[in-house]
Chains A and B, each alone.
Chain A
Amino acid sequence: MTKDTPAAVGSPPPPSRAATFGARAWAVSLWPFVAGVALAAFLYFTLPSAIGPYYLRIVVDVGIAMVLAVSLNIVSGMTGQFSIGHAGFMALGGYTAGMITYYGSILCWGTASRHGGFLGVGDWLFVVACVVGGLVAAAAGYMVGLPSLRLRGDYLAIVTLGFGEILRVVLQQTNKVMEDAAAVRASTLSDWIPPPVGGAVGFDGLPKYTNLFWVGVFVTMTVVMAYRLKQSSMGRAMLAVREDEIAAQAMGVDIAKTKVRAFVLAALFAGMAGGLFAHEPGLIISPKDAGFQRSFEYLIMTVLGGRGSISGVMLAAAILTALPEFLRDFEQYRLIVYAFLLIIMMLLRPQGLFGIHEIWQIWPRRAGANPKTEAVAR
């Protein structure tokens, strides 16, 4: 700790123990989670009847896209490492979570269909599966993060692109899904290697647990994490790596550790988002979801939102997810529109819609606001 610093630097009295560890401290720690979960529950109970299944589906899609874009932003926006393999992490997490819920359900309850109601036992199996999917993706993130220590820019992009594409091809070669408990009982080892997740047609038959509530919970977790990370010493180390690696090193930032940490964190949340994606009603996760086209979409969200701007990226994720739905007739032109959007952004506003700022920071500061108190209050 920094107790024995030069005496000249004024060391203020430490905050009281109560302020540090008391109930108020817990309130500060937990209120965003409580608020997020409460909002998610509120939407879960009110929104479906208000907007109908079609728009509900879009809202869920937006939520999943937010988790992916905000987590990618930790790597590309905050740490400045160009990654176009983010969908690979998502797919890895999704397939892993799917394996757990599908075969777990068959083993426990004899059938792969939904089990239990809201917050029932099936829901918790699903949450555990998402978290495990995230952890598996994080392990992959560690492996992909390692080359980032030696590569930068285009070369790193190729490695991350390669990861997604390799995963896509590998997933195409997997065994077909076992239909029911009898098939699982009759299975031999060769049915499990490679894993029975459906090959090129996708992993069909998963219990569809994903709903507005769980999406809201994961969005809350991701956003709070990203925002608090950005406000922490660890996050500042990431920002410093983005800004100037040599100066960051001279300031004592362990570049290798920081980059790998960014990749692991981003992959963790991408993997959990994959779990949500795989269990979303009306969707079948398939190998092409690991491909570069999807990665590219998330990358565009981070570029459009602004590097490091969490709220900007969330807004971009919402716009870019909802827009194609409202422009259904122009579906086939979507990628052309994206490309144009990117070119225009690069020309007019290369820092993204909100640059490095959060949305609420772009309005002029209140007159007389004292930066010192504000900064300390953060």
Chain B
Amino acid sequence: MKSNQVPSQDVASGASTAPLLFAEDLWLSFGGLKAVQNFTLGLPRGALYGLIGPNGAGKTTVFNLLTGVYRPDSGRIVLDSQELVGRQPHEIAAAGIARTFQNIRLFPDLTVLDNVRLAGQLRASQRLGGILLRTGRQREEEATICRRAFALLELFDLQDRADTLATNLSYGHQRHLEIVRALATEPKVLLLDEPAAGLNSREKQELAGSIRRIRAQFQLAVLLIDHDMNLVMEICERIAVLDHGVMIARGTPAEIQHDPKVIAAYLGCSEPLN
């Protein structure tokens, strides 16, 4: 279903205050189900925003739209003045959006190192002849990729497990490896899909610290989905709330906590208290 084409507004075009990632009026439906309606979000440079909502609210679908897994029925997505709608997921990854997955999707039978090193192919300039001959330049490039991968693994203290198969890592380490792998693509925007799922409270605290640290170190904009309200309220600067594909609220954590529509959506009040 094509919804009405919204006239493009001037928000994203060139102004110095333009957000790094800007999604405007995204619509997506699967048959009769309107999965995402009128989703608009501006993510400034260096921001750490949260996206929350009850199960099935469409949070992961928004990630899938932003990363090109789904193509929106209408609307536009702009990263750093590049239009992203209609681009392939790998092109969007190259443009600078990296993500983690809610249900971990590592490459299970590759080593930890190879999971991270893979991202090197994005910017590698290798040709078949160079690979066949293993030229000096090719080896130099591979060595650089490898050193960078180790530097990233050290962020989460995974460097000693570089030769372990990803599938043999503990659950917590797998979650960490997903983040490291996403960072290896040198993103401008990092989308974290429930990174705290299944972690205990101490691990969640560590994760909160890690996310902050990563953001500062790599100058990333981060968009975080999580069900753990303590985590989201603690680290996010602004939060958007989705329910049934509609953004029902947005604001600072304090505003969100007291928003009656949010409370209704989470606690199941039949009519919003407004």
Contact = CB atoms under 8 A, between A and B. Distances in A.
B110 A239 contact: yes
Interface in A225-263: 225, 228-229, 231-237, 239-240, 243-244, 246-255
B88 interface: yes
B37 interface: no
B109 to A, nearest CB: 5
Interface in B92-110: 93-94, 98-99, 101, 105-110
A376 B147 CA distance: 7
B89 interface: yes
B139 A252 contact: no
| Most-contacted residue by chain A among B105, B110, B118, B145 (CB, 10 A) | B118
Interface string A338-376: 000000000000000001100000000100000110111
A376 B126 contact: no
A187 interface: no
Contacts of A247: 101, 105-107
Contact of B136 (A1, A19, A236): A19
A253 B90 contact: yes
Contact of A249 (B89, B134, B186): B89
Contacts, number: 165
B259 interface: no
Contacts of A371: 113, 160, 162-163
Nearest to A244: B105
Interface stretch (B22-30, B148-156, B262-270): B148-156
A61 B151 CA distance: 47
B33 interface: no
B144 interface: yes
Nearest to B125: A1
B171 interface: no
Interface residues of A, number: 54
**Chain A interface secondary structure, helix, strand, loop or mixed?**
helix
A182 interface: no
B133 interface: yes
B123 interface: yes
Interface in B105-145: 105-110, 113-114, 117-126, 128, 131-145
Interface stretch (A5-13, A104-112, A151-159, A292-300): A5-13
B219 A6 contact: yes
B93 A252 contact: yes
A52 interface: no
B233 interface: no
Interface of A: 1-2, 5-6, 8-12, 14-15, 19-22, 25, 28-30, 224-225, 228-229, 231-237, 239-240, 243-244, 246-255, 265, 355-356, 365, 371-372, 374-376, 378
16 contacts: A2-B145, A6-B219, A14-B140, A25-B139, A29-B135, A29-B136, A229-B132, A233-B124, A233-B141, A234-B128, A239-B110, A246-B105, A251-B93, A251-B185, A255-B90, A375-B113
Given A1-B123, A234-B121, 20 more contacts: A2-B144, A2-B148, A5-B186, A14-B140, A20-B139, A29-B136, A228-B132, A228-B134, A229-B131, A229-B132, A232-B126, A233-B126, A239-B114, A247-B101, A250-B89, A250-B99, A251-B98, A372-B162, A375-B113, A375-B163
The 4 A-B pairs at the shortest CB distance, nearest first, are namely A252-B93, A243-B107, A20-B136, A25-B136
